[in-house]
Structure 1
Amino acid sequence: MTDDTRWQLLLPSGLRNLPADLAAVVVLVFLTIAAVVLPGIRTTPLRVLFGLPFVLFVPGYAFIAALFPEQGHGPSDEETPDAG
């Protein structure tokens, strides 16, 4: 168990490929939903603390992340055989 990547094998394959920044956005979304829905937190300032970044930051960040994804290995990155 000295290998640091062993814990990733416990995750489904879809989650293994999820970038860390978008995973943080998903966590913020669930925290915001919890702050709005749960009765004990609904009336506290935590709702505003999670709600403002959700309204002001998350939509723009997710939009930019969708427009400019990381460079990955796709079909266009494969080596093409020489035509000569």
Structure 2
Amino acid sequence: MILDSGISAVVTGGASSPGAATSRLLVRSSVIIAIFDKNIENGEAVALRESNPLDDVTVFERFRTQMPLILKTGGIKKNEQN
């Protein structure tokens, strides 16, 4: 697969560690990404540092009209009490 501006991707856990690295790699390849992460501040920082953010309508239309790649990079931490 050639990564370029014709591809859209959703990166879950895209704001830290391997997810942030994945987000950066995709953005540097001109892929349009949506970062999903519970850490909103880190997600916004990655997005602003690595790209020229698109407006919400453009992103919505892009994801509505083509099937995005979905990359799960975030893990699930177990409750330490269990």
TM range, normalised to the smaller chain? under 0.3
- Greater helix proportion: 1
Kindly indicate which of the two structures has a greater share of residues assigned to strand.
2
After TM superposition, the score normalised by the length of structure 2 is 0.26
RCO comparison, higher one (Cα < 8 Å, 6+): 2
Q: Which has the larger radius of gyration?
A: 1
